[in-house]
Amino acid sequence: DVKVTQSSRYLVKRTGEKVFLECVQDMDHENMFWYRQDPGLGLRLIYFSYDVKMKEKGDIPEGYSVSREKKERFSLILESASTNQTSMYLCASSLASIGTQYFGPGTRLLVL
Amino acid sequence: GENVEQHPSTLSVQEGDSAVIKCTYSDSASNYFPWYKQELGKGPQLIIDIRSNVGEKKDQRIAVTLNKTAKHFSLHITETQPEDSAVYFCAASAGGSYIPTFGRGTSLIVHP
């Protein structure tokens, strides 16, 4: 089975802190994604990557950056956390040729 | 870009009843339509998908129908059970990119 793991299930940070969320997949998938999930808004794409060191902006990239130094690892970075970034963050991966996405369990981030 | 509308946002049924969730999409180039189920505390998981060359697909109690002309697709769950209670997301993606656009989700509640 494909496994996508996220470094933390719950995280509490202060406004202005730099926050790193890490995601690792074990199935050699080319594509990796970061989503933000908020009630009533569904899943919104922050960034995605289709190869090592490659990244593309999604629908809501402002305030975020990403890093993909290795194929299996995709990191989301909040350069200076703000309260409006309090949310559930989901990582996903997929094969380039098949649309099915495999999601991690999510990280619930609270910014105080 | 693609726009996916999902209805209803909340659906409450009695155990044993059927449940139907509907989605519409805007991009006629979309050709892959997955459905994901998100249980409490977990990431979304694919439950069924359909491609544009197929009008209907069934897997036990779950079926998906696609009307390309009208640009809508639906999830049908028969003989609902309490364990079907979850948030369901539809998605649509086009061509070879497989970057999906998600609907906002439907919270299905099955009362015993």
- Residue A94 CA to residue A78 CA, distance in Å, equals 24
Give the containing element (helix H, strand E) for A33. strand A31-38
* Interchain proximity A94–B98, CB inside 8 Å: yes
**Mind listing the pLDDT tens digit for each residue in A64-98?**
999 999 999 999 999 999 999 999 999 999 987 66
Query: Is residue A22 pLDDT above 70, yes or no?
Result: yes
Closest Cα in chain A, distance from residue B72 (Å): 18
User: What is the rounded average pLDDT for all residues in chain A?
Assistant: 94
Cβ <8 Å between B49 and A100: yes
Mean residue pLDDT of chain B comes to 94
Whether B23 has its CB under 8 Å from any CB of chain A: the answer is no
Cα B30 to Cα A89: distance, rounded to the nearest angstrom: 26
Pairing of strands B106-111, B56-59: unpaired
8 Å CB contact of B104 and A97: no
Give just the sign of the alpha carbon dihedral A109, B3, B5, B6: negative
Residue with tokens 């970061």: A34
Q: What is the pLDDT of residues B38-91, one digit of tens each?
A: 999 999 999 999 988 889 999 999 999 999 999 999 999 999 999 999 999 999
What's the pLDDT at B97? 67
Is any Cβ of chain A less than 8 angstroms from the Cβ of B30?
no
Is a pLDDT exceeding 70 seen at residue B102?
yes
